[in-house]
Chain A
Amino acid sequence: MRFHWPSFLIGYGAGIGSAALSTRLRPLALEIATTLYRAADGLAAQLVMKREDLQDLLAEARTRARGFVGRPAIH
Chain B
Amino acid sequence: MAAYQLDEFPDTLELVRASRRSRRWRFRSAALRGRPLAAATVTALLRDRPEVAHVEADARSGSVLVLTRHDRLPQTLRPLPAARARSPSLWSRLRTGGEEPPAAAWHALTVDDVFRALDATQAGLSQAEARRRLRRFGLNALEPDAVRSRLAVLAAQLANVPSAMLLTSSALSSLLGELLDAAAILSVVGVNTAIGYSVERANERLIASWRQAEAGVVEVMRDGQRRDLSIEELVPGDLLHLRAGDVVPADARVFAARGLACDEAPLTGESEPQPKAAAPVAQATPLADRTSMLYAGTTVAAGTGHAVVVATGLATELAGVRKLVEQSTAPATPLAKRLDRLSNRVARLSVVGAAASALAGLAHGRPLARVVRGAVALGVAALPEGLPVVSTAALVRSMARMRQRGMVVRRVSSAETLGGVTVICTDKTGTLTQNRMEVELVEYGAGPRSPSHIRARPRDLFGDRATLLLAAALLNSDVDVQRRGHDILSISGSSTEKALVHAAHAAGLDGHALRRDYPTLALDERKPGVHYVVSTHGTPGGGRVAFVKGAPEQVVELCDGDLGTVLAHNERLASDGLRVLAVAWRPLDDGAGAPRGHFRYLGLIALRDPLRPGAAAAVAAARRAGIRTLILTGDQRRTAEAIARQLGLDGEALDGSDVAALARSTDPRAPERLRRLAVVSRVTPADKLAVVEALRAAGEIVAMAGDGINDAPALKVADVGIAVGRNASDLARHVADVVLAGDDLRSILAAIAEGRIVQDNLRRAVRFLFATNFSELALVIGAALVGAAEPLTPLQLLWINLLTDTVPALALALEPGDRSVLDRPPAPPSAPILDDKAQKRVARDGALIAAASALASFAAGRAFGFGVLTGAQLAYTLDCRAGDTRATPRFDALVGGTVALQATALTLAPLRRLLALGSAGSLPLGGFALGFGLPWLVGRLGGGEVIVRQGRDCTLPLPTSEPRV
Contacts and interface: CB of A to CB of B under 8 A. Distances in A.
Contacts of A53: 17
**Among B68, B149, B150, residue most surrounded by chain A Cβ atoms (within 10 Å):** B150
B99 interface: no
B34 A48 contact: no
A71 to B, nearest CB: 8
Contacts of B151: 28, 31-32, 35
Contacts of A60: 19, 21-22, 24
Contact of A69 (B21, B154, B910): B21
Most buried by B among A6, A31, A41, A52: A52
A64 interface: yes
Secondary structure dominating the interface of B? mixed
A69 B70 CA distance: 10
A49 B59 CA distance: 11
Contact of B54 (A45, A48, A52, A72): A72
Contact of B21 (A27, A45, A48, A63): A63
Interface in B135-188: 149-151, 154
**How many B residues touch the partner, as a band?**
20 to 34
Ordered nearest first, which 7 A-B pairs have the shortest CB separation? A72-B67, A63-B22, A48-B61, A72-B53, A49-B61, A28-B150, A48-B60
Contacts of A6: 910
Given A32-B151, A48-B60, 7 more contacts: A45-B33, A48-B58, A53-B17, A60-B19, A63-B22, A69-B21, A72-B69
B67 A44 contact: no
A70 B889 CA distance: 91
Interface string A50-63: 00110010011011
18 contacts: A6-B910, A24-B198, A27-B150, A31-B150, A31-B151, A48-B60, A48-B61, A52-B61, A59-B19, A59-B22, A63-B22, A69-B21, A72-B22, A72-B24, A72-B53, A72-B68, A74-B54, A74-B67
A13 to B, nearest CB: 12
Interface of A: 6, 24, 27-28, 31-32, 35, 41, 44-45, 48-49, 52-53, 56, 59-60, 62-64, 69, 72-74
Contacts of A24: 198
B26 interface: yes
Given A6-B910, A31-B149, A69 B65 contact: no
A52 B910 contact: no
Given A45-B33, A52-B26, A64 B58 contact: no
Nearest to B58: A48
A52 to B, nearest CB: 6
Contacts of B69: 72
Interface string B54-81: 1000101111010111000000000000
A53 B65 CA distance: 11
A34 to B, nearest CB: 9
A56 B19 contact: yes
Nearest to A5: B910
A69 B23 contact: yes
Nearest to A57: B17
A45 B62 CA distance: 8
Tell me which of A32, A60, A72 has the highest count of chain B C-beta atoms within 10 A of its own C-beta.
A72
Interface in B800-817: none
A72 B68 CA distance: 8
Contacts of B21: 60, 63-64, 69
A61 to B, nearest CB: 9
B65 A52 contact: yes
B150 to A, nearest CB: 5
Nearest to A30: B150
A38 B26 CA distance: 25
Given A64-B21, A74-B54, A52 B63 contact: yes
Interface string B1-21: 000000000000000010101
Contacts of A69: 21-23
A64 B24 CA distance: 13
B24 A73 contact: yes
B60 A72 contact: no
Nearest to A61: B22
Contacts of A32: 151
A13 B151 CA distance: 26
A30 B154 CA distance: 13
Contacts of A45: 33, 60-62
Given A49-B61, A69-B21, A56 B34 contact: no
A73 B67 contact: yes
Contacts of B65: 52
Contacts of A35: 151
Nearest to A50: B61
B911 to A, nearest CB: 10
Contacts of A63: 19, 21-22
A42 B33 CA distance: 10
A68 B770 CA distance: 80
B146 to A, nearest CB: 14
A20 to B, nearest CB: 13
Contacts of B19: 56, 59-60, 63
Contacts of A27: 150
A45 B648 CA distance: 65
A52 B65 CA distance: 9
A56 B154 CA distance: 43
Contacts of B33: 45
A28 B26 CA distance: 40
Contacts of B198: 24
A60 B69 CA distance: 16
A53 B33 CA distance: 17
A69 B53 CA distance: 13
B288 to A, nearest CB: 43
Contact of B17 (A28, A48, A56): A56
A62 B22 CA distance: 9
A15 to B, nearest CB: 17
B24 A41 contact: no
Interface string B508-536: 00000000000000000000000000000
A27 B205 CA distance: 13
Contact of B26 (A56, A62, A72): A56
Contacts of A44: 60
Contacts of A31: 149-151
Contacts of B24: 56, 59-60, 72-73
B412 to A, nearest CB: 18
Contacts of B910: 6
A31 B34 CA distance: 19
A72 B61 contact: no
